Structure 1
């Protein structure tokens, strides 16, 4: 009889202790960001994320690893301003800065914001996690 009570108590304690550990990092109506960053993914319930021209996009590192938000030079609309965490002016500059001293880092809990002014499709990535597929797209509408 004591064994059943112990197992029941242990199971309840385990359930309560991991309840907060299952967050997907995806934003909802109560969050202060648009796109989350988990271990190896940019997280948003709508893929691709859509935003109107002139509306800021806020990324938040909702995971436990350091990330970047880095545009592919060739995969943003013509005339669009380049964007990367760390305020770099090109993809190569952002890559070099990361390799040099982790430039452009977004630590857990930190955010990065960019306001697109040109409609079209934008593809971006996380420099350290690009080989693992941390690549995403957003679409800017008029």
Structure 2
């Protein structure tokens, strides 16, 4: 073998080794990048699942709460009666209608009633004086409905006969009632169980909080209006 041939053979072997080495380096450098991308995808998926779970938890937390916002009375309201994994519910728990307005209860699932706390229903009075009693009877058929018109201004508490002890209790606010003269907002009846008394206390708090807020807003507007009038009077007097 000549010196030239030997030199070419050595160069060929060296070039092959370098090529293999580079290929190995590229393969090794590519692999972590691929894993990194996969890890990022996994992290993104975990973040999406976490956001979804958090959103679901927030929805579950607000669902069935007694802090419904009562912006203003409406001519009519609708309430669903449901049985879910978390229990039996009126949804929403509190509605606010105008005097002479109506409420429609719809049985979405399970068997429920909408029954007033009234002496005519052999219950303590948790409705306004002179208010008429109502009782839908137990509705078991899906989409069955019951309507009631409320002619007397005030706060009305009502319950589901099969599920009162489980806390299925709701409230209807009619008109602009004087909160200090509502039997429903007094201390819950002592003859009721602790669970029912607690539910009624929660409803009382929700109703008072919502309507007190409305009264505060009305009072503030009145005060502003009065101040403006006084200011105009003063201006006129000065001139």
CA distance in 2, matches of 1:136, 1:69: 9
More helix by share: 2
Q: Deviations over 1:14-69 (max 9, x none)?
A: xxxxxxxxxx8xxxxxxxx700011111002xx52100011111000112x11111
Kindly indicate whether residue 164 of structure 2 is the aligned counterpart of residue 137 of structure 1.
Answer: no
Structure label with greater radius of gyration: 2
> How big is each residue's C-alpha offset from its partner over 1:64-91, in whole Å with a ceiling of 9 and x where there is no partner?
x111110001001001111111xxxxxx
Which residues of 2 match residues 1-142 of structure 1 at below 5 A?
34-39=78-83, 40-44=88-92, 47-63=93-109, 65-73=110-118, 74-85=125-136, 104-107=137-140, 108-141=142-175
Flag structure 2 segments of 5+ consecutive residues without an equivalent: 1-62, 64-76, 119-124, 177-239
RMSD: 1.8
Q: Which residue pairs with 2:224 in the alignment?
A: none
- Contact 2:115-2:134 at 8 Å conserved across structures: yes
Gaps of 5+ in 1: 1-23, 25-32, 86-103
| Alignment partners' CA distance in 1, 2:157 and 2:138 | 18
TM-score, length basis structure 2: 0.36
Q: How many correspondences in the alignment?
A: 91
Offset at 1:117?
Answer: 0.2
TM-score (norm 1): 0.60
Distance apart, 1:109 and its partner CA? 1.2
Runs of at least 4 residues off by over 6 Å: none
Tell me which of the two structures has the higher relative contact order, counting C-alpha pairs closer than 8 angstroms and 6 or more residues apart.
1
CA distance in 2, matches of 1:67, 1:105: 5
